[in-house]
Amino acid sequence: MLIAGNWKMFKGAHEARQFATTIRHLPERLAEVDVVVCPPYPSLEATIAGLGESGVRVYAQSVHWELEGAFTGEVSAPMLLEIGVKGTLVGHSERRQHFGETNETVRLRAEAALEAGLEVIACVGETAEQREADETQDVLKRQVSVLPVHDRLVIAYEPVWAIGTGLTATPELAQEAHAFVKSLHDAPVLYGGSVKPENAASLLEQKDVDGALVGGASLDALDFEAICQAGQAAATSA
Nearest to 108 by CA among 91, 123, 125: 91
CB 212 within 8 A of CB 197: no
Annotated catalytic sites, by residue? 92, 158
CB 224 within 8 A of CB 218: yes
Nearest to 110 by CA among 139, 92, 88: 88
* Distances in whole angstroms, Cα of residue 13 to Cα of each of 10, 112, 180: 10, 27, 39
Using N-to-C axis directions, what is the helix angle for 44-51 and 13-23, rounded to 10°? 30
